[in-house]
Amino acid sequence: MTRLAFALPFAALCLAAPLAAAPSDYAAVVADSNRLADNRKLDEQRLPAEVMDFAGIKRGDVVADWQAGGGYYTEMLARAVGPKGRVYGVFNSAFFKPDVWAKVTAGRPNVLTLAAPQSALQLAPGSLDMIFTHLTFHDLYLGTNRAGDPLPDPQGVLANWFAALKPGGTVIVADHIGPAGDTTAIAKRLHRIDPEAVKREMARAGFVSVAESGVLHRSEDAHELGVFDPSLRGHTDRMLLKFRRP
């Protein structure tokens, strides 16, 4: 299968204006009445204002929302980076929903969707200030995705992330916390991942761990059930980590 690099749109954005100060009120970003109603319903469990504050998103940033789903964070990131910034909703084209993304991009000219077959997802070198991955890092270790497509080697994906970030760029990982053990087996069985495995894999790819937050910690989750279990869905214990490209 032909590999696809998103070089042209990214390259143009490397000439963006210098970054201004970070937005001081992420709560206002969350409260934006233009967000999709289905996305707003998830705010109480996801604490997006706190997550974006931890991420340190700035005006003018160029951000890739990796495996962006229904655009939950894409909508908010678009407002946080402002009109001189850019947000790319990146995902496997097998899960692209044109009707949903027509609504996400409506009135948000700084949002672009980058959909491609899983094996062809490649980010252009030196093009990004941040890669934001929400509840999807463990998916790198599933072997195949829900469409049955084989997934690329996780280290190959992380190597592409490293190359895509400008020096000093960051990766934000929010994901379901899993027990220690075989990363692939745990991801397949529970859709979780051990935070230490994330740190180990990111370090192996050249990233430096710079911060972590317990804002998404849920003590009632013992990390034993799959994340889609009805008794736990939407209320899992989650890690929130920040890594930097040197």
- Residue ranges and CATH numbers for the domains of the chain are 4-9+24-244 (3.40.50.150)
Give CA–CA dist 111/229, Å, rounded.
33
Calculate the CA dihedral of residues 56, 228, 45, 113 and round it to 10 degrees: 40
Q: Which tokens is 175 given?
A: 């994901």
When comparing pLDDT for 25 and 109, which is higher? Answer: 109
For 80, residues 6+ apart whose C-beta sits below 8 A from its C-beta are 23, 26, 29, 52, 57, 59, 61
Q: Tell me which residue has tokens 């931890």.
A: 54
Q: Is residue 20 a contact partner of residue 58, using CB atoms and an 8 Å limit? A: yes
pLDDT of residue 101: 93
Residue range 157-200, pLDDT digits in tens? 999 999 999 999 999 999 999 999 999 999 999 999 999 999 99
pLDDT of residue 84: 95
| Residue 25 in this model has a pLDDT that exceeds 50 | yes
**Lowest mean pLDDT segment, chosen from 14-18, 84-88, 164-168, 173-177:** 14-18
Q: Is residue 62 a contact partner of residue 9, using CB atoms and an 8 Å limit? A: no
Is residue 5 classed as helix, strand or coil in its secondary structure? strand
DSSP code for 32: -
Q: To the nearest whole number, what is the mean pLDDT of the chain?
A: 89
pLDDT band for 93, please (50, 70, 90 cuts): confident
Residue 203: Cβ within 10 Å count: 12
Residue range 138-159, pLDDT digits in tens? 999 998 766 667 778 999 999 9
Count of helix runs (H) and strand runs (E) in the chain:
10, 9
Calculate the CA dihedral of residues 94, 98, 99, 104 and round it to 10 degrees: 110
pTM, two decimals, is: 0.88
